[in-house]
Every structure is written in structure tokens, then in C-alpha cells.
Structure 1
Amino acid sequence: MKIALHGLSLKQEFLQDIKALFRALEEKNFEIHVTQPFDRLLRMQGNTGLTYQLIDSNNKMASMDFLISIGGDGTLLDSVCQVGALETPILGLNTGRLGFLATVTTDTIKEAVNHLSSGNFQIEERSLVSLDCDRKLFNGLNFGLNEFTIHKRDTSSMITVHTYVDGKYLNSYWADGLIVATPTGSTGYSLSCGGPLLSPKAKNLVITPVSPHNLNVRPIVVSDDSEICIEIEGRADKYLVSLDSRSTSVSPELRFKIKKETFSAKLVKLPNYDFFDTLRQKLHWGLDMRN
């Protein structure tokens, strides 16, 4: 089987873990390929002695059976962009901090590779959010796993975000911004702004205001079959829009349509993984400092 490795950063302290990953993959006769960003990181470490092939075109990515994302949740979000509509299954190896999406720890590398080799895993499909705009943004990568966000840029003045759902007027949010999050993204920026948590299998999107002027304005959950249209009004000439960790400035005359993408992200989940266990561990539910 062919496997791709992708990463955006590589600390010296994790180099031994990467070598252990290569050894485990080679023992199971995986054909190892790496993306260009991860190849640059390995070269910066000097002579690592690692043997692999370089992925330098989308055609090569199309032949991969799996992709291992090496880093934190931000790297996994970028891995979704590397795969795109190919829907190559992604396994997250956590060398970052939170590890909400990248759930495999460095001390279970060999076990994880054994599960991949034997087929002892499940594929969890995660819905993506898609952006349609009057002009091309994000180099055509108009989808994200977590959320679409519009935010004020460099002024203290709030913005007004006129929002419509399936052509029906929802609200004009006086706020610092607005988030449209997927179920996966409900544990991210939307959560920090007071949005609800959604199960990954929920067929919904969450519309969450960022620091709304009216305190009675609350997040709302809508069907992921909905089309959400957004118009901006404010005093500034430019505003920020983002898809996951990618952001760019836009002018206020642009109009945005957000809906569920036609393809999904396929995440590899190994035995004993449970979303609710992850919630309790990462959010420290049930812990009391008095105990």
C-alpha cells in the first residue's frame, strides 16, 4: 500500500518519533511518500537516513491509500486541503498541543501502523463547508473542515453582517464577526464564542456571532442542506474572511454563499476511539480542582 506523510513543522524532539514511524511503515511494506512541505522539513534536519518518494503532483496524491498528518489539529486541517476531493483517508499523528482531530499519540505509533496494515479501523466522514464568492479566494481552495469566518480587520468599529438562510432574512448581526461552523468546527472557534457542541455525525451547521453588540443574540443551528448568504456593512474598507486557518482581506461589496461541500473529509479512527471520550479528556469535563 502507498502512504503519504504531511507536516507543516518538525521540532528536533520529534525526529526520533518520525524515524520510528518510518520503521513501522517499512516493516509492514508500506510504500512511503511525503509532500513537498514535509520533505523540506526533513531536509532541514540534515542527513536523517530516511528513504521515501516525493509527491510533486496531484496525480501522485490520487494513488495514495492513506495520508498521515504529522502535527497538531492545524496540520490536519491543511491535510484536508492536500487531499481535497480525492477523499484520501487521513490519520492524525499528534505532535502538537490539543489533539482534538489528530488523535494518535507518538507512543502508539507502531500500534497505529499495525491497525492500518490489518484494516482494523473505521472511516469517519466529516462534512466540509464550501464558499462561493464574487471573486476567486484562497487559490481556489474554497472549502474547510472547521468553519468559515468573517471578521473586522484593524478597526475598533463593529461590523454589520446581514445574514440570510435559504433566501429568508435571518438577522443583521452587529458584532466583531460571524462564524459558520461544521459539526467538526463546533469544538473550535465557534465554541470559544459560545456556540454549541455538535456530534460529528450531525447534519447541521452552526451560525455563531463573534462578540455581538446585542446580548440577546445567540448562536443558531441550521440544517446543512441550507444555503447561507452573507453581506457586510461597516466603516472600514477591508474585512477579513477565513476558511479554517487560511485568511484574506476582502472589500465590503463582496457577497458570500456558504453551504455544505459536495465531498467530505475521511478521517481514520482506530479501535477504542470515541468522540465523547475525547470531549471529556480535552475539555477536562468532570475534573474538579478541589479533588
Structure 2
Amino acid sequence: MQEKTIAIYGREFNASVLPYVEQLFAYLKENKVQVYIHSDFYNFLKKQINCPSGWLLYYSHVDLPTNIQFLLSLGGDGTMLSAVSQVRDSGIPIAGINFGRLGFLAAIHKTQMIEALDAIFAGRYQLQHRELLEVTGSDQKIFGEENFALNDITVFRHDTSSMITVNAVLNGELLNAYWADGIIIATPTGSTAYSLSCGGPIMMPGSGNFVITPIAPHNLNVRPIIISADSELELEIESRTEKYILSCDSKSDTLSTTTKLKIRRAPFRVNLIRLEKDSYFSTLREKLLWGLDVRNY
């Protein structure tokens, strides 16, 4: 029988979910699961609850074992985005237990985690392959080795109420000069996040596309545009403050307008665990109330 080996990653969270964490740890101990837990998360937890002995620590993606079956993310969707930096291009699948609010990426509800783990260890799940974006700067290394995003890459005005101009060149051809608060470049995964709130379309995972969504554009006829995931986008920003903000999922930095950006598909994908009973459209209906009409109820 194959030994059960997993990794656990999380960030600080509200004490109200600690009983569920204790329930999870008891399950893992009872089922003799070998656990590698992120050191920072372990140090947070041991101040709150009694953590099982015999668990091993890992400190970053560098020492994360490659023989683990999956990484278990404990938290909300933000924790899931951060967990991508733990697995990177290893191919290790990620399963998310939702201790947050929306739970669009972290799809396993905390009250159903034992049933879900039984299904995962029994192999009753599917892997969803999700594309990522990669950003590079013309004169500096942006975000070090974490210059990739599962959701979106966003350019936004800095320290001013004035709009910025984002000159966008797609595959060597001028696409548009966006006069706006900024623009969002989103993956299908991120199409239901910030891009959606700015009027962008919903895109199915695996569709092979990205979307460029302007943020509060001055010209109302400038609409979101879907581009091929094989495209290469170059951005040059003009701003009165000569600065702008660049975000890459949960990471952000302030850059000079002398730094031009190049955005393209990352050279790897991440694998998300989805249970057999879950589907993309049921998640849309449940989490985003997509298509909800009180006349149908």
C-alpha cells in the first residue's frame, strides 16, 4: 500500500476555524498520513493548538519534497494564490479547504473536508490544468522568482487622481493607448476576479485565452478584449508622477515609468484538484450567483 504523503500550507487566520484545523489534524494522524507543513504556518498554529508530533517542516519551494501526493491549502482564495508559489513548476496538485468567504479556488468547504479527503486519497477527483501569466521588466527583475500570476497582472496609477496612459503593443503591433486608471491582464482563472468586477467576460479554464480589461477607461468605447494565450503583450506607461503600481496576484510593487513590461504565458501550469461532484458551472452558480433569478424559485 502506497504511503500517504502530503504538504500543508496556510497563513494566519481567524481563531473561529481552529476547531476545523484540529479535526483535520486528528484525521491525518488517524490515517497515518505523512505531513510536511510550512514552517511559518506551523509556528503560527503551535501557539494556538496542539500540533501532532512527527510532522516535518519545509521552508520554501526549494525544500518541498517532490514525492508528495498533493499540497493542501488551508484558507481562502488568497491563500490558494499564495500556494502556487510553493509548488511552482513541480506539477504537485493543490487542494484548497475554504476557511475564507468566497471559496472560488479553495473549493472544499470546511464542513466537508473529511469526506473530500477520503475521496482524494481514493483517487476520486480530477485535475484541472490552469494557465499562468509571467511578467518581466525591461530594466529590472520584477518580483524575483515569483513573477507569475494565476489570476491576473494589473497596472494601476500611483499616488495621483489623474489617469495614466498605457501603450499596449500586441505581438509587435499597436493594440491601443489606454487612457484609464489602469488595465488588467487576466487568465481564465482570474476572469472571475478583479477583471469581472471591471466588466470583463467570464472565460472557461482551458479556453486558451487571456483577457485585457481596462479599469475605468476615459473612452467608453474601449472595451475588454480577449487575446490568444500565445500572445506577447508589451506595455509602456505614461504618468504625471512618473510612477505606477504593478500587481501580480497578491504581490505588488511601485515602478518607474522607465520600466517597460512584457507579459506572456508562463512556461508552466498548475494543477488544481477538483472533486467529481464539482463542476465549473455549478461553482459559478453557487459562488457568484450566476444567472440567479428569483422568478425561478
C-alpha RMSD over aligned residues: 1.4
Alpha-carbon deviation of 1:237? 2.5
Residues 1:246 and 2:248 are matched in the alignment? no
Alpha-carbon deviation of 1:37? 2.5
Task: Give the secondary structure class of the aligned counterpart of 1:62.
Answer: coil
Q: In the alignment, which residue of structure 1 is the partner of 2:148?
A: 143
Using the alignment, how far apart are the partners of 1:50 and 1:104 within structure 2? 23
Using the alignment, how far apart are the partners of 1:262 and 1:128 within structure 2? 8
Q: In the alignment, which residue of structure 1 is the partner of 2:44?
A: 41
Using the alignment, how far apart are the partners of 2:157 and 2:120 within structure 1? 44
Long gaps (5+) in structure 2: none
Q: In the alignment, which residue of structure 1 is the partner of 2:122?
A: 118
Alpha-carbon deviation of 1:165? 0.8
Alpha-carbon deviation of 1:289? 5.3
- Kindly indicate whether the alpha-carbon contact (under 8 Å) linking 2:27 and 2:114 is maintained by their aligned counterparts in 1: yes
Alpha-carbon deviation of 1:12? 1.5
Alpha-carbon deviation of 1:226? 0.3
Q: 1:212 aligns with which of 203, 217, 223?
A: 217
Using the alignment, how far apart are the partners of 1:166 and 1:98 within structure 2? 36
Q: In the alignment, which residue of structure 2 is the partner of 1:21?
A: 24
Alpha-carbon deviation of 1:8? 1.2
- Kindly indicate whether the alpha-carbon contact (under 8 Å) linking 1:25 and 1:113 is maintained by their aligned counterparts in 2: no
Using the alignment, how far apart are the partners of 1:144 and 1:27 within structure 2? 36
Cα distance per residue 1:209-234 (max 9 Å; x no partner): 00000000000001000001100012
Q: TM-score, normalised by structure 2?
A: 0.94
Q: TM-score, normalised by structure 1?
A: 0.96
Cα distance per residue 1:174-193 (max 9 Å; x no partner): 00001110000000000011
Using the alignment, how far apart are the partners of 2:290 and 2:194 within structure 1? 19
Cα distance per residue 1:125-183 (max 9 Å; x no partner): 00000112121121321101001100001101100000011101100000000111000
Alpha-carbon deviation of 1:276? 0.3
- Kindly indicate whether the alpha-carbon contact (under 8 Å) linking 2:29 and 2:52 is maintained by their aligned counterparts in 1: no
Q: 2:231 aligns with which of 226, 233, 239?
A: 226
Q: In the alignment, which residue of structure 1 is the partner of 2:279?
A: 274
Using the alignment, how far apart are the partners of 1:243 and 1:284 within structure 2? 27
Which moves more between the two structures, 97-106 or 110-119? 110-119
Using the alignment, how far apart are the partners of 2:227 and 2:40 within structure 1? 37
- Kindly indicate whether the alpha-carbon contact (under 8 Å) linking 1:20 and 1:109 is maintained by their aligned counterparts in 2: no
- Give the number of aligned pairs: 290
